[in-house]
Structure 1
Amino acid sequence: MNKYAVIVAGGSGTRMGAPMPKQYLPIGGMPVLMHTLRKFVRAVFNIKLILVIPANDFELWTELCEQHQFQIPHQVVAGGKSRFQSVKNGLNMIPDHEGLVAIHDGVRPFVEAEVIQSSYEVAAKSGSAIAVVALKDSIRKLQDDGKSVFQERQYFRLVQTPQTFQVSKIKKAFEVPELHTFTDDATVYEHQGWQVELIAGNLENIKITTPEDLEYAEFLLRK
């Protein structure tokens, strides 16, 4: 069964306050996005990588690949106006209907190989595999009246990526019009009435969004 990974990196990085989008900023001397692509190619033999970035960034990405002598094979696809549209554009590049595809945030470069591998194994059996981690802090739910109520944290999980699916199912799921309730790929999949399967993620698999995240990323690389 062919294995694909759609790496989505369409953000503008406004919260980072940097001169370029966060996915191209360096950690350990190399752009974040290259670390992410390298994680997948090292975790899965013969994986086919599809990188979704804004069309305006194609030239910048080419220059960065030349500058860092980055030679991992991958197909570059233009993103859309939303994450939903960007993922759909990536999925449309997959000719296979019997394979498996992991959809992953390009700014999550610290996903462990075991998580990636497990996601493909579980998705092959159940149709989907969504990486999650347990909450460590207490949580409260805000109500319309301005008050808050305690929630049992053991009933909640923080959702990460990769979110891995059987290609035929996730392609069908993305045929519907985009809804505001689609917060990730799992919610698009669930819209079909299919139950998602959860797998254990890793706590270090942070989504780099702010300057503080970038500093923590440097620490993780040194570690």
Structure 2
Amino acid sequence: MNTAIIVAAGSGKRFGSDTPKQFHPILGKPVVIHTLQRFEDCDLVKRIILVLDKNETDSFSKTTKQFGIRKIDSIVSGGESRAESVRKGFEAIKEDFRGVVAVHDGARPLVSTQEISETIQTAQESGAACLVANVTDTIKEVSGGVITKTVDRTNLRRALTPQCFRYEL
């Protein structure tokens, strides 16, 4: 049974709004609902652990039901950092769990169910996998405030989510 941990506990400070970006509406739904629907529609994901800011955990359960999100196993309070929020998501997994855990950012709704499935399948086979994208920006190496080198992008990739792991790892 594969589990998705959707991390949506951020405060949205960099977004420049009083409302965190994961709760901003797009086409009448909060961004995180669009994200949850991708995982809801993925046959390889059997349950979802949603990590939210402690002030959102009680009220958001009703919202997930309103939009037909049925795979939510638990909603847990996030931590002070993304890493701590992910850890709290892992703590919500039952001890006897066997399968792949897919960690994904709640504010990233543009992932497809096919990308989720392929990343989970690769993690099942090899132990771990994550989506990546080519680096298209020019990357510079700097020393003492002076550009010393343009980095070859041929072998560079940007890590995206979901990031998937066999739980026993």
Q: Does TM, normalized by the shorter one, top 0.5?
A: yes
Shift of 1:158: 0.8
2:164 counterpart letter in structure 1: T
Q: Which structure: greater strand fraction?
A: 2
Q: Kindly tell me: are residues 136 and 147 of structure 1, through their superposed partners in 2, closer, same or farther at Cα, counting changes over 3 Å?
A: closer
* 1:23 maps to amino acid: Q
Give unmatched runs, 5+ long, in structure 2: none
Partner of 1:56: 55
Using the TM superposition, give the Cα deviation of residue 58 of structure 1 relative to its aligned residue in structure 2, in angstroms: 2.0
Match of 1:70 in 2: 67
CA contact (8 A) 2:140 2:147 kept: no
Letter of the aligned partner of 2:167 in structure 1? V
Give the aligned residue type for 1:107: A
Q: Spell out the pairing of 1:12-161 with structure 2 (5 A cutoff).
A: 12-45=11-44, 47-62=46-61, 64-65=63-64, 69-73=66-70, 74=72, 75-95=74-94, 96-161=96-161
3-state SS of 1:168 partner: coil
Q: Secondary structure at the match of 1:154?
A: coil
Residues 95-140 of structure 1 deviation map (CA, whole Å, 9 limit, x = unaligned): 1432111000000100011110011111011110011001223321
What's 1:174 paired with? none
Taking structure 1 as reference, are residues 46 and 139 closer, same or farther at Cα in structure 2, changes over 3 Å only? closer
**Residues in 1 aligned to 2:19 and 2:145: alpha-carbon distance in whole angstroms:** 41
Other-structure match for 2:163: 163
Residue by residue, what CA displacement relative to the aligned partner does 1:34-60 show, whole Å, maximum 9, x if unpaired? 000000111225620000011111244
* Closer, same or farther: CA 136–56 of 1 in aligned 2, 3 Å: same
Q: 1:142 to 1:33 in 2, by over 3 A?
A: same
| Long gaps (5+) in structure 1 | 170-223
**Letter paired with 2:19:** M
TM normalised by structure 2 equals 0.90
> For residues 53 and 157 of structure 2, what CA distance do their matches in structure 1 show?
31
Q: Deviations over 1:79-107 (max 9, x none)?
A: 11111111111111111432111000000
TM-score in terms of structure 1 length: 0.69
Residues 44 and 117 in structure 2, CA contact (< 8 A), matched pair in contact too? no
How many residue pairs get aligned? The number is: 166
The worse-fitting range, judged by mean Cα deviation, of 150-159 and 53-62 is 53-62
* Structure with the higher fraction of residues in helix conformation: 1
Deviation at 1:146, TM superposition (A): 2.5
CA contact (8 A) 2:39 2:45 kept: no
Q: Which amino acid aligns with 1:49?
A: I
Comparing 55-64 and 143-152, the one that deviates more:
55-64
Amino acid paired to 1:50: I
